[in-house]
Structure 1
Amino acid sequence: MGVLPLQSHDSRGRLYIVGTGPGNLLQMTPKALKALGEADCVIGNGFYLDLVEPLLAGKEVIRSSMGREVDRAAKALALAEDRVVAMVSGGDAGVYGMASIVLEVAERSGTNVPIQVIPGITAAVSAAALLGSPLSGDYVTMSLSDLLTPWEEIERRLDLAFRMRVPVVLYNPRSRGRPHNLDTAIGIARRHLPDTTPVGVVRNAYREGEDRLVTTLGEFEDHFAFVDMHSIVFVGGEETRILRSETDGRGIITPRGYHRKYVY
Structure 2
Amino acid sequence: MSEIDTGVAAAEAEASPVGKIMLVGIGPGSVEHMTQRARDAIAEADVVVGYVTYIKLVADLLDGKEVVRKGMTEELDRAVHALEAARAGKKVALISSGDAGVYGMAGPTYEVLFQAGWTPDDPVQLEIVPGASALNACAALVGAPLTHDFCAISLSDLLTPWPVIARRLDAVAYADFVVALYNPKSGRRTRQIVEAQRLFLRHRRPDTPVAIVKSAYRRRQHIEFTTLDKMTDSDIGMLSTVLIGNSSTFVRDGLMVTPRGYANKYDVEQGFETRDGEKAGRSLSTGLLGWLETLQAQHTEGHTVADLARLHRLPVEYIAATLAEPVEVGAVAAVGEAEGEG
Mapped partners of 2:115, 2:36: distance in 1: 31
Structure 1 match to 2:158: 147
Task: Tell me, in whole angstroms, the C-alpha distance in 1 between the residues paired with 2:262 and 2:77.
Answer: 49
2:230 and 2:91 map into 1 onto residues whose CA distance is 50
In the alignment, which of 236, 240, 259 is matched to residue 255 of structure 1? Answer: 259
TM-score, length-scaled by structure 2: 0.71
Cα-to-partner distance string for 1:70-125 (whole Å, 9 max, x where unaligned):
12111100101201110001110100000011011111212321111110100001
Identity of aligned residues (%): 43
- 1-structure distance, mates of 2:53, 2:152: 23
Compare the two structures and name the one with the higher helix fraction: 2
- How many residues matched? 248
* Aligned pair partner of 2:191 in 158, 165, 180: 180
Partners of 2:82 and 2:27 in 1: CA distance: 20
What secondary structure does 2:42 align onto? helix
For residues 165 and 230 of structure 2, what CA distance do their matches in structure 1 show? Answer: 23
Match of 1:80 in 2: 86
In structure 2, how many angstroms separate the alpha carbons of the residues matched to 1:23 and 1:11? 32
CA deviation profile, 1:29-71 (whole Å, cap 9, x unmatched): 1111110010011011111000010000110000111111112
- Mapped partners of 1:169, 1:124: distance in 2: 6
Give the Å deviation of 1:166: 1.7
1:102 corresponds to: 109
Offset of residue 253 of structure 1:
0.3
Structure 2 SS opposite 1:145: coil
Aligned-pair distance for 1:243?
A: 1.8
Whole-Å Cα distance in 2 between the matches of residues 130 and 174 of structure 1? Answer: 21
Separation in 2 of the partners of 1:209 and 1:190?
A: 30
TM normalised by structure 1 equals 0.91
Which residue identity does 2:105 align to in structure 1?
Answer: M
Aligned equivalents of 1:239, 1:190: Cα separation in 2: 16
Q: Which amino acid aligns with 2:265?
A: K
Deviation at residue 13 of structure 1 after TM alignment: 1.2
Question: Is structure 2 residue 93 aligned with structure 1 residue 89?
Answer: no
**Secondary structure at 2:55 match in 1:** helix
**Structure 1 residue 11, shift from structure 2 partner:** 4.5
Q: Distance in 1 between matches of 2:59 and 2:153?
A: 30
> In 2, Cα distance between the equivalents of 1:166 and 1:12?
45
**Does the residue aligned with 2:114 lie in a helix, a strand or coil?**
helix
Greater per-residue strand proportion: 1
The alignment status of 1:44 with 2:50, answered yes or no, reads yes
Report the Cα distance in structure 1 between the residues aligned to 2:232 and 2:107, rounded to whole angstroms.
34
**Greater C-alpha Rg:** 2
Preserved contact between residue 193 and residue 232 of structure 2 (Cα < 8 Å): no
Q: Quote the Cα distance in structure 1 between the aligned partners of 2:232 and 2:93.
A: 41
Question: In 1, are the aligned partners of 2:82 and 2:92 still within 8 Å (CA)?
Answer: yes
Q: Does 1:189 align with 2:200?
A: yes
- Equivalence for 1:4: none
How far apart in 2 are the matches of 1:147 and 1:91? 20
Aligned to 1:63: 69
Q: RMSD over aligned Cα, in angstroms?
A: 1.2
In the alignment, structure 2 segments of 5+ residues that lack a partner are 1-15, 273-342
Q: Deviations over 1:113-158 (max 9, x none)?
A: 1111110100001111101000001101000000110011111111
Task: Give 3-state SS (helix, strand or coil) of 1:259's partner.
Answer: helix
4+ aligned runs moved over 4 Å, structure 1: none
Q: Does 1:171 align with 2:171?
A: no
Structure with the bigger RCO (C-alpha within 8 Å, sep 6+) is 1
* Whole-angstrom CA distance in 1 between matches of 2:230 and 2:181: 17
Report the counterpart of residue 148 of structure 2 in structure 1. 137
> Any idea what SS the aligned residue of 1:15 has?
strand
